Amino acid sequence: MILKKIYSSAMLLLATLPLLAQLPVEINGQLNKERKSPLKLFKIVEGKPLEIAVSTPGDKGRFGFLFYPEYEGFYLVGTGAINNPADSYKFYFKPGDKLSLSISDSSYVLNGNRNSKENVVMAQWHDLVFPLEQKSINFFRVNSTFIDFFPELEDIVAKSKIFLNGKKTGNAKFDKVMIENIKWDMAHYAVSFLNTPRTAHPSVEEYSPYYTTLTTQGFAKNALEVYQQPWGARILAGLVMVNMRLQNVKFTPGLEGLKNALSFIPNDTLKGDAVLENAMRYKNYTDYKELMEVYGKYILTAAQKKRNLDIATPLLTLKPGDDAYAFAYPDKEGKTVSMASLRGKVVLVDVWATWCGPCKAEIPHLKKLEKEMEGKDVEIISLSTDALKDKEKWLKMIKDENLGGTQLFAGGPGNEFSQYYKVNSIPRFLVFDQKGKIVSVDSPRPSNPALKALLEKTLTAKQ
What region, left, alpha or beta, does residue 47 occupy, with left being phi > 0 and alpha being psi -120 to 50 degrees?
A: left
Q: Does residue 250 have a pLDDT over 60? A: yes
Q: What is the pLDDT of residues 339-361, one digit of tens each?
A: 999 999 999 999 999 999 999 99
| Gap between the Cα atoms of 290 and 52, Å rounded | 36
Q: Does residue 254 have a pLDDT over 90? A: no
**Quick one: pLDDT at residue 244?**
95
**Quick one: pLDDT at residue 463?**
63
Q: At what angle do helices 117-136 and 146-160 cross, to 10 degrees?
A: 160
Mean pLDDT of 18-32: 82
Give the whole-number percent of the chain exceeding pLDDT 90: 83
Sign of CA dihedral 192, 195, 201, 202: positive
| Gap between the Cα atoms of 43 and 30, Å rounded | 21
Mean pLDDT of 418-432: 93
Cis peptide before 24 (omega within 30 of 0): no
For domain 13-115, which CATH number applies: 2.60.40.1120, 2.40.128.260, 3.40.50.2300, 1.10.10.10? 2.60.40.1120
Q: Does residue 38 have a pLDDT over 50? A: yes
- What are the boundaries of each domain within the chain? 13-115, 240-315, 328-460
420 with 414: CB under 8 angstroms? no
Q: Is 128 helix (H, G, I), strand (E, B) or coil?
A: helix
Q: What is the pLDDT of residues 143-155, one digit of tens each?
A: 899 999 999 999 9
Question: How many residues comprise the chain?
Answer: 463
Q: What is the pLDDT of residues 409-418, one digit of tens each?
A: 998 888 999 9
Q: Does residue 67 have a pLDDT over 90? A: yes
DSSP character string of 401-431? TT--SEEEE--STT-HHHHHTT--SSSEEEE
- b/e 352-362 (16+ beta carbons within 10 angstroms → b): bbbebeebeeb
**Quick one: pLDDT at residue 413?**
85
The hierarchical CATH code for the domain 328-460 is 3.40.30.10
The vertex-372 CA angle with 367 and 374, nearest 5°, equals 95
Q: Does residue 260 have a pLDDT over 60? A: yes
Q: Does residue 21 have a pLDDT over 60? A: no
Q: Does residue 7 have a pLDDT over 50? A: no
Q: What is the pLDDT of residues 274-319, one digit of tens each?
A: 999 999 999 888 899 899 999 999 999 999 999 999 999 889 888 9
**Which parts of 343-387 fold into alpha helices (H)?**
357-361, 363-372
295 with 262: CB under 8 angstroms? yes
The vertex-215 CA angle with 225 and 144, nearest 5°, equals 100
Q: What is the pLDDT of residues 154-207, one digit of tens each?
A: 999 999 999 999 999 999 999 999 999 999 999 999 999 998 888 889 999 999
In this predicted structure, which of 33-37, 107-111, 256-260, 324-328 has the lowest mean pLDDT? 33-37
Q: Amino acid letter at 275?
A: V
- b/e 102-128 (16+ beta carbons within 10 angstroms → b): ebeeebbebeeeebbbbbebbbebbee
If you average pLDDT over every residue of the chain, what do you get?
A: 92
| Gap between the Cα atoms of 186 and 169, Å rounded | 21
Mean pLDDT of 379-403: 95
Confidence of residue 10 (pLDDT cuts 50, 70, 90): very low
405 with 412: CB under 8 angstroms? no
Q: Does residue 324 have a pLDDT over 60? A: yes
Give the whole-number percent of the chain exceeding pLDDT 70: 95
pTM listed for this prediction:
0.77
Q: Does residue 12 have a pLDDT over 70? A: no
Q: Does residue 462 have a pLDDT over 80? A: no
Q: Does residue 107 have a pLDDT over 90? A: yes
Q: At what angle do helices 254-262 and 268-279 cross, to 10 degrees?
A: 150
What region, left, alpha or beta, does residue 303 occupy, with left being phi > 0 and alpha being psi -120 to 50 degrees?
A: alpha
Q: Amino acid letter at 221?
A: K
Q: What is the pLDDT of residues 122-150, one digit of tens each?
A: 999 999 999 999 999 988 888 899 999 99
| 352: enclosing H helix or E strand | strand 346-352
Q: Does residue 371 have a pLDDT over 60? A: yes
Q: Does residue 15 have a pLDDT over 60? A: no
Q: Measured between alpha carbons, how far is residue 45 from residues 73, 80, 272, 414 in Å?
A: 11, 17, 16, 21
